[in-house]
Structure 1
Amino acid sequence: MKFNQKNLIIGSFISMTACYGSAFVLAQGKSNDFKNLENVEKIYENQKNVNLNIVVLDAHVLIQQAQNNIVTINIKKIAPFCNLEITNNAGEIYVDYQKGDNWLENKRGCKAEIKISLPKNSSIATKIVSGRTEITGEYSSLDLKAVSGDLSFNGQSENLNIKSVSGEVKVQGFHKNLNAKSVSGDIDIKYSNILSGDILATDTVSGNVKIIIPKKTELNYSFKSVSGQFKLHEAFVSNNAKFTIKSKSVSGDVNVNSY
């Protein structure tokens, strides 16, 4: 199987950044001095099956499990060019830039710290260029995207999709379907438990993948790469296994260890 590495790297970069439109270009502009910090807090009660959507250029996003179906959103932002808007329409919550005359400058100069508490089984979607995204808890689905920002999740989910260009990806817990893609960033995944039918798919260019699974886990796998290697340590390979790993890379290695 032949790969054109140059075209593949460029193609991967474009596909990873396409969801941001012009956001990646704006991130290269000079940021301000981050003066005049403001705090904004919103509390929504009696929330179930919440869908959270976040679109920010540069932010530290911290999401954790809430209790009693109460959603809390706290934003530490920079004025005047960080006018983040919070909207809630029947449980569909958006944290995005406020549209207006200074919309372009608003995005260019904005950096924020965003802390959110969400009820169990909510859905989360984030698009962040730089900064960090840290999520803990139990959620129905997560769709996390970043360019240079790091992404981490510790918890449980039915469906977890992560895409990063150069940021690190770290995942712990139990996940029914996990898809992790990166161009040059490394991917670290540790399973606390594996059930029948669980599938892990990884796709990297030069980034390495480290997978840690419980001892005596039976698995089957497929691996496609130009120069990378797939290494198994203390794992049981079986064609009838209930856990499947599907990995692709150009030069990145995949290591599977047990604990």
Structure 2
Amino acid sequence: MEIYALIGPSGTGKSHRALKIAYENGVDYIIDDGILIYQTKILAGISAKNANTKMEAVKRAIFENESHKREVKRAIFENKVEKILIIGTSERMVNKIIKRLDIGDEYQKISIFDIASEDEINEAIKMRKGQGIHAVPLPTFEVKKHFSGILRNPIKLIFKIKDTDETKTFEKTLIRPNFSYIGKFFISERAIVQIVKNEMDKFSDIVKVFAIDVSQNNDGIEIDVSVGMKPCMLNETAKDVQKSISEAVENMTLINIKNINVNIIKVYTRLKI
């Protein structure tokens, strides 16, 4: 197997540049913080960025758990991976990953200090230390399916292909993992309820709200809305309500929403609610 290793201290922007490095070297598979990525999808593993503590994150990143390790090894074998890019904070970390996944001995080292300027690295470190922001080399729609924590807006990466006038576009996602924000702040359930109430005012002519319940845990929040509706197009209206609440809460709080449950407890036959 042909192995590339992108190496640099934590928070220096490795994941930000991983897609470009992979593309330039014809690599479709990336190992980053405990997960195996194929192009724009997660094939196997559990992300270190989903951990609740930094210690747990480190253990996941180096595949210390046996079942985690076996899952990723099996995916590499079944997909007959010929080229892979491993993102690591040090050569020691990369060596541990290679040994535990049993994928080879030698690799081509790429240092973050050789591909990023001092200003770019300092800016990345500032974001990590000041805001706890981590980059994931995946589009947001894929990140939402697998990651907890607070999501930030997706970032488009556009770069020129060597020796041509063509450009290539990738998408990455910025997140603030659980271990980065637990204990630093919280958004009260009352504030979230108020956001939902304001959003439900848009549907006041066809929907009556009876109750709004919000439950929070380390993975995100779940919202339950009990409503009464007119009998016309119940499913479509419920979907519109879900979408409206989801967009409003995510845009205003950046919190990861696990579920939005719209419970229709009453159907009105009269035109006025």
- TM-score band by shorter chain is under 0.3
User: With CA pairs under 8 Å and 6+ residues apart, which has the higher RCO, 1 or 2?
Assistant: 2
TM-score, normalised relative to structure 2: 0.27
**Which one has the bigger strand percentage?**
1
TM-score, normalised relative to structure 1: 0.28
